[in-house]
Structure 1
Amino acid sequence: MKVAIEGCCHNKLEEIYKALEHIESVENIKIDLLLICGDFQAIRNTEDFKSLSVPAKYRTLGSFYKYYTGELKAPYPTLFIGGNHEVISYLWELYHGGWVCENIYFLGYAGVVNFGGLRIGGMSGIYNHWNYNVGHFETLPYNESTVRSAYHTRKYDVYKLAQIRQPLDIFLSHDWPTGITNFGNVNKLLKTKPFFGPDIATGKLGSIACDELLFKLKPKYWFSAHLHVKFSAVVYHDERTTSYSESKEMSSTSVENPDEINIDFDEELNNPDEINIDLKDGVNQEEKNKESNNEKTLQDYIIEDDKKEQIPCTKFLALDKCLPDRDFLQIIDFPEANGKFEFSYDEEWLAITKATQEYLTLSSNAKPLPPDNEIQKKIEEELRWVQENISQIEAGLVIPNNFQPTAPAYGQQQTFILQQPFKNPQTEDFTKLLKIQNKINPEGQSPIRQD
């Protein structure tokens, strides 16, 4: 199975899909799945600009609304996470995950799904220490503050992901894990982005939440975006390797990227050929330094390489935003993935969601979270429930194709004003499936009929 990875989308779906079709034609291959690492911008109408954190001069409709209405259809199954430039009012409707239109699935604020035999996890948003320990308190109408804080990662969602015990093939985040630059060619990175230097030196570049999850979950691949540059690394998970936050005292202030909102896209998409990235190029900088030691022999390196082959590793890749002559796409082959090309729920994640639902807080004062050993017992109980009540049913784990528009799309109701959040039928179906309380806009308005 061939999987396409894309960095920041910024509502350039048509251009991304055209690039993939070009790659298929030139390389004579078939792409089976597209993963997008945030800043998707599911803009349905001009009213959605009120819940999108971008300067006014960058507020353009883009092409998503055409997929939302069915005028266009995504040519590839597409999975994405949220970044820090998203239509929060829409993605919040689908907090647990769901279809934003036909064939494009939002993984949720945190989640795990299966596709074609691959187990894919991810987390939306970016890290900000001011809002990390609070609940999901933001709601309509958003103001200048809450439209930003709404996309800040919360400890509750990280806590849920940290309970995963079964191996992950892929993990998606918008932020980079803090300290990931220690495992790649940081000198090359600084030639492209020299202003990263002070933040790398002080431990401010990236997310400490992602850093924690990287070393707990140890996925085979980790893909990110956000910083608008290509960067690869390999993290070997041996007994000496710890997270950056555990090995260094560091500030928790999030990085400000001066390139972050420079999203003035060109109309033409040039040179969208496949980027041949060998992830093995991103070796640990410490190992590179060791290679310069003349006292080592070739046999020493052969022994070290043999040992490394036995150590599980995470191959990390960050990609750029969709612009001409930028590294925003990568195709990776997963020959071992031979399952059905359809999205399905993950048993363990359903159990985690069911076991932790009572701790989902919709106010600033987040409910205290229980210790891992306590919640793990509950997860084990809920896993048995999921296996007995969902997995045993025919197609019980297959995610239903139950997309239904809620807000009107551009051109359908020009006078539409979003004053009350929508109650999304997909979220209602999901919570009924798990027999849990629907806390996401339970008093919201029903979808507006699209005549």
Structure 2
Amino acid sequence: MINCDQTLSISNGKMKVAIEGCCHNQLEEIYKTLEHIENGENIKIDLLLICGDFETIRNTEDFNSMSVPAKYRTLGSFYKYYTGECKVPYPTLFVGGNHEVMSYLWELYYGGWVCENIYFLGYAGVVNFGGLRIGGLSGIYNDRHYDLGHHETLPYNTSTVRSAYHMRKYDAFKLAQIKQPLDIFLSHDWPRKITNFGKLDDLLHIKPYLRQDIESGKLGSAACEELLFKLKPRYWFAAHHHVKFPAIVYHDERTSSIYQSEEMNSKTIKNPDEINIDIDEDLENPDEINIDSTTSQPHISEDERRDQIPCTKFLALDKCLPGREFLQILDFPEANGQLEFSYDEEWLAITKATHEFLNLSFNAVSLPRESVIQSKIDPELRWIRENISQKAVGLVIPHNFQPTAPAYGEQQTFILQKPFKNPQTEAFTRLLNMSNKINPDGQSRPQE
């Protein structure tokens, strides 16, 4: 187990996880970088996590479902993995950001395979991989839309194509019901006020224009801030602002600037042409301080005291460009489970218990008190264990990817009038014995 004062680094542990900031449809470059690291360091990377702006562009029609200026509309490489022309070399998991093909991600609202071996965590979700419990929340925060339902659908206009990627209270509410510990949490947006716990001066030196939003409290997500302090995951990874920013949040009754952390001693990969594992680590060690000099309690150092407090290591990363700090390799030596994605019992129970509150209209729907929803979750958890966990295939997520839309180079004359009906979502809702509210009358794949 890595304690709170150890570094994020490459070592000789069992399981190695790579974390990527913003993807921006640079999959080929990211995978080549990982392969370069493996060959140079003689290691094996087991899992890749991507913190949004994935851009699952399958065809030119998908541009109509994205909030991206025309000059930045490029096909990228995802469609090659979608068709199977290129094989995904590492199990890959991602959350959505603010530059996504929203019509495609909506097909997989609960999560699912966007192509073979790349899994979307959903608008909110929890899965297990290799003994690690990984949760996440897609999108970015906007207080004007937070309480609304998921009303956006095709054809998007200039307003709804943006609001479609804004977080909703319902999804954060589901995550807030989690009681069992999380190893990792993924988001695109940062938790609000996370800059209180890292080296703010370093951040502002790189991104000075963030100062106003930080000082006004507008930087980051209020939903993520609430989840950070409620769920207390061991690690939280994010992206969005195209800058590396590490912090450590100590979860006790005091969350003031006394807990501003020294930067995590990370060994960060910049780009395939500039692989340098031995990056300098010019970090200061905190001075020893007395916690309470007025009592008879023994004086302990800040380091010793921090070892006794649960903490979350936060790290935001950049986008995949030359010279940018976009990739991190992290060891999880204690993770010794099967290297495959599986459903999470508690999350399935939460999803089933909250299904009636999923709102597809513009107006907000009142959510129940936590005590009320918890009383619904407990019996659903028993149902999950009796009807899913005990079966032969158990909680293993089936490899049931099926392409729904034509890819670039295939039929290009179709018009996407409404999101495609996705067989994975139909299978998932059947698994939980729930009605399919997501595209129940969705468009079928056009015939070749």
TM-score normalised over the length of structure 2: 0.89
Change (3 A) 1:274 1:4: farther
1:270 Cα deviation after fit: 2.6
1:276 Cα deviation after fit: 5.5
Deviations 1:228-280 (A, max 9, x none): 0000000000122389xxxxxxxxxxxxxxxxxxxxxxxx95314458697x9
- State whether residues 343 and 398 of structure 1, in contact with CA within 8 Å, keep that contact through their aligned partners in structure 2: yes
- State whether residues 225 and 320 of structure 1, in contact with CA within 8 Å, keep that contact through their aligned partners in structure 2: yes
1:3 Cα deviation after fit: 0.1
Which residue of structure 1 lines up, in the alignment, with residue 214 of structure 2?
200
The CA RMSD over aligned residues, in Å, is 2.3
Structure 2 CA distance for aligned equivalents of residues 269 and 324 of structure 1 = 8
1:373 correspondence with 2:376: no
What residue ranges of structure 2 are gaps of 5+ in the alignment?
1-14, 258-270
Structure 2 CA distance for aligned equivalents of residues 414 and 363 of structure 1 = 31
Change (3 A) 1:322 1:301: farther
Matched position secondary structure for 2:388: helix
1:307 Cα deviation after fit: 1.6
Structure 2 CA distance for aligned equivalents of residues 306 and 404 of structure 1 = 52
Which residue of structure 2 lines up, in the alignment, with residue 72 of structure 1?
86
Which residue of structure 2 lines up, in the alignment, with residue 363 of structure 1?
361
Which residue of structure 1 lines up, in the alignment, with residue 105 of structure 2?
91
Structure 2 CA distance for aligned equivalents of residues 164 and 282 of structure 1 = 36
Which residue of structure 1 lines up, in the alignment, with residue 196 of structure 2?
182
TM-score normalised over the length of structure 1: 0.89
- State whether residues 77 and 104 of structure 1, in contact with CA within 8 Å, keep that contact through their aligned partners in structure 2: yes
Q: Which residue among 136, 140, 143 is the counterpart of 2:150?
A: 136
Which residue of structure 2 lines up, in the alignment, with residue 47 of structure 1?
61
Which residue type is aligned with residue 177 of structure 2?
Answer: Q
Structure 2 CA distance for aligned equivalents of residues 346 and 41 of structure 1 = 26
- State whether residues 277 and 330 of structure 1, in contact with CA within 8 Å, keep that contact through their aligned partners in structure 2: no
1:65 Cα deviation after fit: 0.3
Structure 2 CA distance for aligned equivalents of residues 276 and 397 of structure 1 = 40
- State whether residues 171 and 223 of structure 1, in contact with CA within 8 Å, keep that contact through their aligned partners in structure 2: yes
Q: Which residue among 426, 432, 437 is the counterpart of 1:434?
A: 432
1:29 Cα deviation after fit: 0.6
Which residue type is aligned with residue 330 of structure 2?
Answer: I
Structure 2 CA distance for aligned equivalents of residues 277 and 428 of structure 1 = 50
Kindly tell me the number of residue pairs found equivalent between the two proteins. Answer: 417
Which residue type is aligned with residue 103 of structure 2?
Answer: S
Structure 2 CA distance for aligned equivalents of residues 353 and 30 of structure 1 = 34
Matched position secondary structure for 1:14: helix
1:126 correspondence with 2:124: no
Structure 1 CA distance for aligned equivalents of residues 187 and 278 of structure 2 = 20
Which residue type is aligned with residue 139 of structure 1?
Answer: T
Deviations 1:9-36 (A, max 9, x none): 0000000000000111111110000000
Deviations 1:401-436 (A, max 9, x none): 000000000010121221122110000000000000
Which residue type is aligned with residue 331 of structure 1?
Answer: I
Which residue of structure 1 lines up, in the alignment, with residue 165 of structure 2?
151
Which residue of structure 2 lines up, in the alignment, with residue 387 of structure 1?
385
Which residue of structure 1 lines up, in the alignment, with residue 47 of structure 2?
33
1:216 Cα deviation after fit: 0.3
Q: Which residue among 231, 256, 263 is the counterpart of 2:245?
A: 231
Matched position secondary structure for 1:49: helix
Change (3 A) 1:86 1:114: same
1:14 correspondence with 2:22: no
Which residue type is aligned with residue 270 of structure 1?
Answer: D
1:88 Cα deviation after fit: 0.3
Change (3 A) 1:204 1:390: same
1:199 Cα deviation after fit: 1.3
What residue ranges of structure 1 are gaps of 5+ in the alignment?
244-267
Deviations 1:158-201 (A, max 9, x none): 00000000000000000000111111111111111111111111
Which residue of structure 1 lines up, in the alignment, with residue 273 of structure 2?
270
Q: Which residue among 165, 179, 186 is the counterpart of 1:172?
A: 186
Structure 2 CA distance for aligned equivalents of residues 209 and 386 of structure 1 = 28
1:214 Cα deviation after fit: 0.1
Q: Which residue among 47, 54, 57 is the counterpart of 2:71?
A: 57
- State whether residues 126 and 207 of structure 1, in contact with CA within 8 Å, keep that contact through their aligned partners in structure 2: yes
- State whether residues 414 and 446 of structure 2, in contact with CA within 8 Å, keep that contact through their aligned partners in structure 1: no
Change (3 A) 1:94 1:408: same
- State whether residues 134 and 183 of structure 2, in contact with CA within 8 Å, keep that contact through their aligned partners in structure 1: yes
Which residue of structure 1 lines up, in the alignment, with residue 344 of structure 2?
346
- State whether residues 417 and 443 of structure 2, in contact with CA within 8 Å, keep that contact through their aligned partners in structure 1: no
1:306 Cα deviation after fit: 1.3
Which residue of structure 2 lines up, in the alignment, with residue 246 of structure 1?
none
Which residue type is aligned with residue 337 of structure 1?
Answer: A
Structure 2 CA distance for aligned equivalents of residues 17 and 304 of structure 1 = 40
Which residue type is aligned with residue 42 of structure 1?
Answer: T
Give the alignment of 1:268-307 within 5 angstroms: 269-274=272-277, 302-307=300-305
